Structure 1
Amino acid sequence: MSEPGGPTTIGIVDDHALFREGLREILWAHDDFAVVGEAGDSVEALTMVAGERPDVLLLDIEIPGRGVLDTVAQVRAMSPGTKIIVLSMYDGPQLLSRLLAAGIHGYLLKSVHREEVISAIRSVVNDPDRLVLAVSRDSLAQVNGASSDVLTDKERQVLEFAAQALSNHQIATRLGLTEATVKRHLRNIFVKLGAVSRIDAVNKAVAASLITSQRDPGAGPQGFV
């Protein structure tokens, strides 16, 4: 992880050396970024993450080796503070849904402009709860429409308690989780349901018969995560 006030440390994972070189040059052109490691497959990626603990990992979706979902899980286990942004040539909603559920912070098509990559990195670093998606409207709509298939049991439990106007601390206590984990579940729920707040997520979940709890009408207002 970077030192306070220091540049954002970044790891690049892609099996094409030319692509890594081009991305590295783009990032090095900015004083607030520092590329601390590169890898061409999942084994090299995990070794690099274990040694460097980068603030951000730019991860190719077609990484050779363990596969992107397993690699994401391994990275999150060994370096929870690393924000993972997946880079892809494909606009596939099914895998995107699974990656979001796994805890990635961004999904960018490789067709995006360099300014979008820079903006995405800064966004996830400055706001740990921010998700950055650069996909087609149709793909995002399919992700939202598939919410009943990808909402995990734990996410349903969190949303049930949110519907009862419980705070993040109260939900964490009930489920034996940390508040940070509850926030992550809520963030994933927001993306899957296309919601902008807890109330919006609960209303959409109830309307879609994903949960049965109704919010207590006498409870106070519920804001963002």
Structure 2
Amino acid sequence: MSSADSPIRILVADDHPLLREGLAAMVAGQADMALVAEAENGEQAVQAFREHRPDITLMDVRMPTMGGIDAIAAIRAEFPSARIIVLTTYRGDAQALRAIKAGASGYLLKSMLRKELVETIRGVHAGHRRIDVAIASELAEHRADDELTQRERDVLSQVAAGGANKEIATRLGISEETVKSHVKNVMNKLGASDRTQAVVVALKRGIIDI
């Protein structure tokens, strides 16, 4: 167990300086924690992890250059025992599932940082998995759903950007009939009655970003 003599060593990765400052202040207020490094994108986070080998990494999902989920996968591939807590403003279950599959040990909404961050750090450091209750319930609700394939997500992202089937086919190098087939499959998987509803559901659940 960590003490003031051997604190939990923490790396913070987020592209917003004010949030990093806030996290640093919260960590500084705990006798059993110490901030050892900061990063403002995924590539820096991977490099900082190699250099400092922190006990806990706090990782934002959306960052420039390399996003948080890719950074988690890269760190865990090199350091399988890494303990990483995802910080996000987005509660979509699909994004949470991708983070967990990449190797995240915790998933925390930024709106809950003040209430739950310190205990989440201690819990994950002790070997537990900590996922925000609201996100956990959404994961449970959709656990039996068929996951969209990468190509289906690509097509849906193009639909969200306003692309017609012919334009999407040209951009992705596939036939218009294939695009129609993917759109139909997406609508079935998401329980959507039309393309617009499919986009709305996908954005809410974090399946695609715009």
SS of equivalent residue, structure 2 residue 112: coil
- In the aligned structure 1, how far is the partner of 2:29 from the partner of 2:48? 22
In the alignment, what sits opposite 2:84? 84
- In the aligned structure 2, how far is the partner of 1:108 from the partner of 1:144? 16
Retained in 1: the 8 A contact 2:72–2:104? Answer: yes
Written as runs of structure 1 = structure 2, the 5 A alignment for 1:168-183 is: none
Retained in 2: the 8 A contact 1:9–1:55? Answer: yes
Retained in 2: the 8 A contact 1:108–1:135? Answer: no
1:67 Cα offset (Å): 1.9
SS of equivalent residue, structure 1 residue 124: helix
- In the aligned structure 1, how far is the partner of 2:107 from the partner of 2:119? 13
- In the aligned structure 1, how far is the partner of 2:113 from the partner of 2:137? 23
Q: What whole-Å deviation, never above 9, does each CA across 1:158-194 have from its counterpart, x for those lacking one?
A: xxxxxxxxxxxxxxxxxxxxxxxxxxxxxxxxxxxxx
- In the aligned structure 2, how far is the partner of 1:96 from the partner of 1:9? 24
Is 1:142 equivalent to 2:138 in the alignment?
yes
1:68 Cα offset (Å): 2.2
TM-score by length of 2: 0.63
- In the aligned structure 2, how far is the partner of 1:122 from the partner of 1:135? 17
- In the aligned structure 2, how far is the partner of 1:74 from the partner of 1:105? 15
Q: Which amino acid aligns with 1:77?
A: A
- In the aligned structure 2, how far is the partner of 1:71 from the partner of 1:8? 21
1:84 Cα offset (Å): 0.5
- Relative to structure 1, the CA distance from residue 13 to residue 113 in structure 2 (aligned partners, 3 Å threshold; closer, same or farther) is closer
Written as runs of structure 1 = structure 2, the 5 A alignment for 1:62-73 is: 62-73=62-73
SS of equivalent residue, structure 2 residue 37: strand
1:18 Cα offset (Å): 1.2
Is 1:37 equivalent to 2:37 in the alignment?
yes
In the alignment, what sits opposite 1:221? none
- In the aligned structure 2, how far is the partner of 1:66 from the partner of 1:93? 21
- In the aligned structure 1, how far is the partner of 2:124 from the partner of 2:137? 22
Q: What whole-Å deviation, never above 9, does each CA across 1:6-28 have from its counterpart, x for those lacking one?
A: 11100000001111011101101
- Relative to structure 1, the CA distance from residue 141 to residue 30 in structure 2 (aligned partners, 3 Å threshold; closer, same or farther) is closer
In the alignment, what sits opposite 2:14? 14
Written as runs of structure 1 = structure 2, the 5 A alignment for 1:1-225 is: 6-126=6-126, 128=127, 130-136=128-134, 139-148=135-144, 149=146
- In the aligned structure 1, how far is the partner of 2:54 from the partner of 2:80? 10
- In the aligned structure 2, how far is the partner of 1:78 from the partner of 1:41? 18
- In the aligned structure 2, how far is the partner of 1:102 from the partner of 1:113? 22
SS of equivalent residue, structure 1 residue 64: coil
1:98 Cα offset (Å): 1.5
- Relative to structure 1, the CA distance from residue 12 to residue 124 in structure 2 (aligned partners, 3 Å threshold; closer, same or farther) is same
Retained in 2: the 8 A contact 1:55–1:81? Answer: no
Q: Which amino acid aligns with 1:133?
A: I
Structure 2: stretches of 5+ with no match in the other structure: 148-210
1:113 Cα offset (Å): 4.3
1:135 Cα offset (Å): 4.5
Q: Which amino acid aligns with 2:53?
A: R
Q: Which amino acid aligns with 2:137?
A: A
**Larger Rg over CA atoms:** 2
